Amino acid sequence: MFNGDPYDSDLSIPNPPPGKNFLSDWLPRHMPDTVQPIVDKFVDAVLKKFSPEYVATIGYCYGAKFAVQQIGNGKANVAAMAHPSLVSIEEIAAIKAPLLIIGAEKDHVYNDELRKKTEDKLKEIKATYFTTTASGVSHGFALRGDLSSESVKFAKEKAFTDSLQWFERFAPKTTGTHL
């Protein structure tokens, strides 16, 4: 997805090391319009090769945008996202399937204002959704959180198990191919 240039955790937000910055060093090379064709090609190939009857998508931070798009374009049956970034209200408005949102109390990206706008839009379109906010954790907790912190460890594990339960809730009760 990143053409051999994966995200370097040393570029962490909000306190990168001197001389390094996520927003100026990595993100410009991986804007959604650059990554979108890669995601589309991958999703289309998976759907063609496996013909699954059920597709669940999950996106943490940057990946949330692409997970949500798949329930907006009808290529997935359910989605989950944790501490999302770059997801527009228009993309939320377009969803056609259940969405789980796991947020962080301290989040400069998916902040209180955006969280409220997102929930208002979900209510307006009568979406099936569940949203939760983990206290005492920051943006990124579910992916690169400090597991020595009891709060972060609990929230990270809860995000994972909640996502699995969300996917199971909407999975068909058959024995077909699930991806």
Active site residues: 61, 107, 139
Q: Residue 19 burial (CB < 10 Å; 0-12/13-18/19+)?
A: exposed
The alpha carbon of 17 is separated from its chain's Cα centroid by a whole number of angstroms, namely 26
Between CA 4 and CA 93 the distance in angstroms is: 33
Tokens of 90: 């228009």
Biggest CA pair distance of the chain: 53
